[in-house]
Amino acid sequence: MRLSRYFLPVLKETPADAQIVSHRLMLRAGMIRQASAGIYSWLPLGYKVLRKIEQIVHEEQQRAGHIPMLMPTLQSADLWRESGRYDDYGEEMLRVTDRHGRDMLYGPTNEELITDIFRSYVSSYKDLPLTLYHIQWKFRDEIRPRFGVMRGREFLMKDSYNFDLTKEDAMHAYNRHLVTYLRTYERMGLQAIPMRADSGPIGGDNTHEFLVLADTGESEVFYDSAITELSFGDRNIDYDDVGQCQAILEEFTSRYARTDETHDEAAFNEIPAERRRSARGIEVGQIFYFGTKYSEPLGATVDDGQGGRVPVHMGSHGIGVSRLLGAIIEASHDDKGIIWPEGVTPFHCGIVNLRQGDAGTDAACADLYSALVAKGLEPLYDDRDERAGAKFATMDLIGLPWRITVGPRGVEKGMVELTSRRTGESEEMSPSAAVERLVEIYEAVREA
């Protein structure tokens, strides 16, 4: 993409109403624009990152055998009356009435709808296990939408639903989700720690939230610092292997890590003092086994192979896709702007032409651009007639992890400069060496 033809409305001033750094940077980098409280338009740069995050979520869900589909944003109130949640959900639910006077709502989640689909088609244990998911906009009329996309009213969520014959099978689905989430967040350059969370009236300890540590996080968390040394890395997983998934769950949840709702001071104090941490965190996902809470009232039963019918065991598992943009920026920025991890960057690299209009640098940039595209990389070429300082500032603000600078002196020697946004270090090399380097970097990311 040539910047002169792109739509990147960066702001010079720091928006006064944005309280946290990710919100400020998303506004300044021209990624989002508020349409009304807690509701945003995704401008081209923000939309690109949103799609990348979504893509990683899709890939990791499907790697585990979970099946993508799409349910609507607007739902009929009838199903929610059946489950009993229409009245319980309260003011966070946006309710609307259609022209025929039918009660509708903008879905805050989809347990009812997916259970209705399930009961309409599946009636035998032979069709289990089954895990369906979608990535769809949700609406929750949050009393205090704030921090940009972090706590929106309209937000994008991945929600999966597993259907299993027994609790044991459903717990495997739970563990499997935990494994997919560990991999998903790491591919985005994030450390998200599974912490034991509150399962509310359902009880049990079959729910974990995934938290990214950040001072601006809304959750208070307590953990053993040893947990931050764990990493999922490049493991080969057989998602049908019950023992393997269980072992990974144990590895990542055996250390103390809890949100304030489940925090237990006595257990916490058993951790050696130097490893005891209390901090803030951003909830980027949650997994939940809830048994027959919806299958019973909605009559989602299957023949159990022994002449009886039993309600299926279910769980639901969410990832805050749009919130993740804010979380990644909170975890990865400096005073000049965003620093995108390679896995989610909107463009693979920037090209800065130090002397626009100079035949030599223009031609060198054009060649470099084609060479990158030929290798399947997507550069953002700043071809505007601007000072070098302004071009660098824009690149730093929007946070592309790599920049190639092309100037008249380098061109004479057949050299360009490759700069890392994260370290600020530059290296002079031939254009073809720069292309090769980037190809290597991004191949490693794709294989992750």
Please report, as ranges, the residues that interact with ligand ATP according to CB under 6 A: 109, 140, 142, 151-152, 155, 157, 283-286, 318, 320, 322-323
Question: CA 27 to CA 40: how far, in whole Å?
Answer: 11
Closer residue to ligand ATP in complex, CB, 210/402? 210
Residue with tokens 């739902």: 75
By the 10 Å C-beta count (0-12 exposed, 13-18 middle, 19+ buried), 421 is classed as buried
The helix (H) or strand (E) run that includes residue 105 is strand 103-106
Cβ 319 to Mg ion shortest distance, Å = 10
What one-character DSSP code corresponds to residue 377? Answer: -
Closer residue to Mg ion in complex, CB, 24/138? 138
Residue with tokens 């244990």: 125
What one-character DSSP code corresponds to residue 127? Answer: G
Closer residue to Mg ion in complex, CB, 200/243? 200
Question: CA 196 to CA 420: how far, in whole Å?
Answer: 37
Cβ 169 to ligand ATP shortest distance, Å = 23
Cβ 286 to Mg ion shortest distance, Å = 4
Cβ 159 to ligand ATP shortest distance, Å = 7
Cβ 191 to ligand ATP shortest distance, Å = 15
Residues forming a β-bridge with 105: 75, 95
DSSP string, 170-195: HHHHHHHHHHHHHHHHHHTT---EEE
C-alpha torsion sign, points 168, 172, 177, 178: positive
For the CA atoms of 197, 93, 22, 325, the dihedral, rounded to the nearest 10 degrees, stands at: 80
Cβ 20 to Mg ion shortest distance, Å = 19
How many other C-beta atoms can be found within 10 angstroms of the C-beta atom of residue 336? 15
Of 292-311, binders to Mg ion (CB under 5 A) are none
Closer residue to Mg ion in complex, CB, 281/346? 281
Closer residue to Mg ion in complex, CB, 294/381? 294
Q: Binding partner of residue 323 among ligand ATP, Mg ion, none, CB under 5 to 8 Å per kind?
A: ligand ATP
Q: Binding partner of residue 400 among ligand ATP, Mg ion, none, CB under 5 to 8 Å per kind?
A: none
For ligand ATP, which residue has the nearest CB?
Answer: 320
The tally of CA atoms less than 13 A away on the side-chain side of residue 341 is: 23
Closer residue to ligand ATP in complex, CB, 147/392? 147
Of 232-291, binders to Mg ion (CB under 5 A) are 286
Cβ 185 to ligand ATP shortest distance, Å = 11
For Mg ion, which residue has the nearest CB?
Answer: 286
Closer residue to ligand ATP in complex, CB, 284/397? 284
Phi and psi at residue 67, to the nearest 5°: -105, 125
Contact 104, 77 (CB under 8 A): yes
Question: CA 258 to CA 194: how far, in whole Å?
Answer: 8
What 3-state DSSP class applies to 435? helix
Question: CA 365 to CA 351: how far, in whole Å?
Answer: 7
Cβ 148 to ligand ATP shortest distance, Å = 9
Q: Binding partner of residue 42 among ligand ATP, Mg ion, none, CB under 5 to 8 Å per kind?
A: none
What 3-state DSSP class applies to 2? strand
Cβ 150 to Mg ion shortest distance, Å = 13
Q: Binding partner of residue 284 among Mg ion, ligand ATP, none, CB under 5 to 8 Å per kind?
A: ligand ATP
Cβ 284 to ligand ATP shortest distance, Å = 5
Q: Binding partner of residue 152 among Mg ion, ligand ATP, none, CB under 5 to 8 Å per kind?
A: ligand ATP
Residues forming a β-bridge with 75: 105
Per CB under 5 A, does 419 bind Mg ion?
no
Closer residue to ligand ATP in complex, CB, 95/437? 95
Structure token digits, residue 280:
């803030």
Closer residue to ligand ATP in complex, CB, 57/349? 57
Q: Binding partner of residue 320 among ligand ATP, Mg ion, none, CB under 5 to 8 Å per kind?
A: ligand ATP
**Which of 339, 216, 379 minimizes the C-alpha distance to 283?**
216
The tally of CA atoms less than 13 A away on the side-chain side of residue 181 is: 34
Closer residue to Mg ion in complex, CB, 320/431? 320
Q: Binding partner of residue 75 among ligand ATP, Mg ion, none, CB under 5 to 8 Å per kind?
A: none
Closer residue to Mg ion in complex, CB, 253/286? 286
Q: Binding partner of residue 142 among Mg ion, ligand ATP, none, CB under 5 to 8 Å per kind?
A: ligand ATP
Cβ 242 to ligand ATP shortest distance, Å = 25
Of 346-405, binders to Mg ion (CB under 5 A) are none
Residue with tokens 């909605």: 298
Q: Which residues bind Mg ion (CB under 5 A)?
A: 286
